[in-house]
Structure formats: C-alpha cells, structure tokens
C-alpha cells in the first residue's frame, strides 16, 4: 500500500507561485494539488503547512559525486559527496561528472557512485566523458553510453578555454555534440554537452564557431562557470541571445571573488536584467570539485573543495540581496536545469511528477523538511535518512 501524505495549507512555489494549497503525496509521486482536499482514511499522514513554503527539491546539474581535483598531486584529490551533503542542503537530484582527471577517476566508478546514492534516496544522473577529448566512455562510444546506460544523459564537462583542457578543435567539439544529440534523440534524452569554460581568452568563441559552421543548435551545449568574470558573463548573455543556455557556479571562495568572479546570485540578477529568459539560466554547485588557486604562471598555490550546500545559499542570496523573485531564483536551481536536461519528473511541484519537495520556513527560508521521491530525508533541518557511511 502506497503511503499517503497530505501537506495542508502551504504556500506553493512550483516554482511559479500557486498560492496556498493542499498537496497530496501518494507513494513516490505528487498525486494532487488543490486549494482544499478532503481525504478521510486512517492511512493518511497530515502535515500542517501553515507559515511554511513548499518548493521543488533542487536539481544540481554539476556535482563531482565521486570526487575530483588532483591538480596539486595525489593528495589533492577531493573526497566523494555523501547523501547528506546533498539532502541537508535541499538537493534531491544531482548530475554527477568527472573533471580534469579521467585517469585515476573513471566512469565506472562514477556510475557505481551514482547507483549508490540512488539506493540511499537521491535521484542521480551522470555525464559520460570528462574534460578530455577524445571523450572517454564506458561502452566505447558516446552514442552507446547515452543510449544504453539509463543514468547517462549527456557528455561533460568537456573543457574549453582552459590550460587543463585537451584543446579540442571546432570539428572535434561539433562531432561530440552531434553524437550526443543523435544518441539523445534515439533514447528519449536531451543528449546535452556540458562545457567547462575556463579562464582562457577564447571564452565561448569555439561554441560560437560550432553553431555558425554546423547545424548544431546552441542549446545542445550547456556551458558552466559563466560567472567567472564580467567579460565572460557578457559573452554568456550574448550566447543566450543566440538561443543558448548558461550555468553559474555557486561554489566560490574569497580569492575568486576578489579576483573578479561574480557571485552566482548576482550573475543571475544581471542576466535577468539584461533580458535573458529564466528558462535559459541555471545555477549549480560544482560540488566536490577542487577550487584550485593558480599563480600568474599557472602554478598551483592552493586548493579548496566546492560545496553542494552553496546552491541553496545562492537561491536565498538572489532573493534577499539581489531582488530576484523567489520564483526565478528557484527556477534557476529547479525547473530550468530539469528542462535543459530533459528531466520531466524533476524540478517542479506538479501532479504526476516525483515527490521531491522542500518545506521551508516562510520567514527565513530555512529548510525544515526534505522529501525525495516521497521519502522523508530531512526533518526539522536534520537528516533523518543517512547514507551508508554518513
């Protein structure tokens, strides 16, 4: 028998504002959203939603779930993400990726970690490939990875404009995008190519050239780290005006900000002010990535670790500091990434979709409860569902 949970009289941001509603969860899905639902059965658990807000669980489109980094030697490889790193921070869906290192880090390890987190209560997808070109795969081809491996929804982060990139040619990038696109069409996925954009002066020029010289549409690419500096943000806004989408990275540190990085929440506000549609704008944590600090000669001088928790912090910051509407701020971490990645069950509060939900305090936006596919993962701000090694 499916569990029934009725969240009564809660203000719903779906992420669009729906006003005060009763929300019924049946098993792992949202069954109904109505101004008043009268249900009488002893099987029903009632939750008082007065004074609280209901949001979709966050969709974090880039997390190095199996660890990343390593740019400073073996001891600088970053740790894996744990279940509660995500759930305590309101993230119920993550997209795992490799990064710079696809030699000591592997796709089978990434995929195993994705299955492990899924067993523990999270929804997890991943990208084939890494920074490197030619793209590393599990099955031998990008197409087969996307078509035959359920969890693989695209390729990435393929690195451009970065000294750690494989320095791919336009032709190579176009080939990867066409393989991902066709494989996505054949398997009912979006086949997105996540693009790591580094500090290099070429910025988004390569992507620009691919869409000018081929039939690949701009939205096949999903470039991230676009809040790296004002000039890259400007290039990102132009890219959106050509039909592209862009992602801002919420993990940061004092040095990055001092050197000109724009907080993701501020970048979101600026892009919206520039007239970009919220459907083209997303934020992700880059959780468990290394945040390497290089000197002017490219030598590594420091290393920190990205936090999944920075995603919801950025959502709150967009609202409280940069006057972004709550709907738009939430969209950037829920509906927009879910739609870009083709995850139709995720990132929205809607009947028939997965019951991935956050109940937050209306006055301070602090997370009180988190549900993942109908299962209570966090209660009164504390994880009640722990990962195997949490």
Binding mask 153-192 for Zn ion (x = CB under 5 A): ----x-----------------------------------
Q: What tokens appear for 317 in the block? A: 């910051």
Q: How far apart are CA 227 and CA 249, in angstroms?
A: 7
**Closer residue to Zn ion in complex, CB, 13/239:** 239
Size of the site for Zn ion (CB under 5 A): 2
Shortest gap between Cβ of 169 and Zn ion (angstroms)? 20
Q: Which C-beta is closer to Zn ion: that of 54 or that of 232?
A: 232
The single residue among 196, 307, 348, 373 that binds Zn ion, judged by CB under 5 A, is 196
Would you say 196 or 307 has its CB closer to Zn ion? 196
CA distances from 163 to 194, 205, 242, 253, 284 (A): 18, 16, 27, 21, 22
Q: Which of 101, 286, 328, 356 is catalytic?
A: 286
Measured from the CB of residue 198, what is the shortest distance to Zn ion in angstroms?
8
All residues at 6 or more sequence positions from 75 whose CB lies less than 8 Å from its CB, including other chains? none
CB 196, min distance to Zn ion, A: 3
Of the candidates 221, 313, 227, 311, which has an alpha carbon nearest to the alpha carbon of residue 269?
A: 227
Does residue 295 have an active-site annotation? no
Give the closest residue to 9 by CA, choosing from 17, 19, 222.
19
Joined together, the tokens standing for residue 286 give 């880059």
**What would you report as the CA-atom Rg of the chain, rounded to the nearest whole angstrom?**
20
Instruction: Using DSSP, state whether 159 is helix, strand or coil.
Output: strand
306 vs 383, beta carbon nearer Zn ion: 306
> Per rule CB under 5 A, is residue 105 in the interface with Zn ion?
no
Q: Which of residues 128-157 bind Zn ion (CB under 5 A)?
A: 157
Q: How far is CA 223 from CA 203, 218, 321, in A?
A: 10, 10, 25
Length of the chain: 390
Closest separation in Å from C-beta 97 to Zn ion: 8
Q: Based on CB atoms, which residue is closest to Zn ion, 290 or 353?
A: 290
Binding span for Zn ion by CB under 5 A among 27-35, 111-119, 194-202, 337-345:
194-202
| Chain residues that interact with Zn ion, rule: CB under 5 A | 157, 196
Which residues does the annotation mark as catalytic? 286
């Amino acid at each position: 028998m499916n569990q029934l949970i009725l969240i009564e009289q809660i203000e719903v941001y779906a992420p669009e504002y729906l006003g005060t509603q009763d929300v019924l969860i049946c098993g792992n899905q949202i069954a109904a959203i109505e101004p008043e639902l009268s249900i009488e059965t002893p099987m029903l658990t009632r939750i008082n939603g007065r004074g609280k807000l209901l949001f979709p669980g966050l969709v974090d489109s880039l997390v190095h779930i199996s660890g990343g980094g390593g740019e400073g030697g073996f001891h600088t490889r970053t740790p894996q993400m744990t279940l509660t790193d995500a759930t305590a921070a309101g993230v119920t869906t993550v997209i795992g990726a490799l990064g710079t290192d696809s030699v000591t880090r592997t796709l089978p390890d990434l995929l195993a970690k994705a299955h492990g987190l899924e067993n523990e209560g999270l929804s997890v997808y991943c990208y084939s490939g890494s920074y490197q070109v030619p793209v590393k795969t599990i099955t031998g081809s990008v197409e087969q990875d996307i078509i035959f491996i359920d969890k693989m929804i695209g390729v990435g982060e393929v690195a451009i404009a970065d000294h750690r990139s494989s320095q791919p040619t336009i032709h190579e990038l176009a080939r990867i995008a066409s393989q991902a696109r066709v494989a996505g069409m054949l398997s009912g996925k979006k086949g997105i190519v996540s693009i790591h954009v580094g500090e290099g002066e070429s910025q988004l020029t390569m992507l620009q050239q691919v869409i000018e010289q081929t039939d690949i549409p701009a939205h096949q690419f999903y470039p991230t780290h676009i809040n790296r500096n004002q000039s890259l943000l400007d290039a990102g806004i132009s890219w959106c005006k050509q039909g592209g989408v862009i992602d801002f990275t919420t993990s940061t540190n004092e040095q990055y900000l001092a050197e000109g990085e724009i907080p993701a929440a501020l970048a979101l506000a600026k892009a919206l002010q520039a007239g970009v549609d919220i459907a083209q704008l997303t934020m992700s944590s880059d959780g468990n990535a290394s945040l390497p600090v290089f000197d002017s000669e490219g030598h590594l001088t420091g290393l920190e670790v990205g936090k999944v928790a920075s995603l919801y912090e950025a959502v709150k910051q967009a609202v409280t500091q940069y006057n972004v509407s709550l709907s738009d701020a939430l969209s950037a971490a829920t509906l927009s990434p879910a739609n870009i990645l083709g995850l139709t069950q995720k990132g929205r509060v809607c009947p028939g979709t997965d019951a991935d939900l956050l109940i937050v305090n209306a006055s301070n936006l602090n997370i009180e409860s988190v549900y993942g596919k109908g299962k209570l993962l966090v209660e009164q701000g504390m994880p009640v569902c722990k990962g195997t090694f949490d």
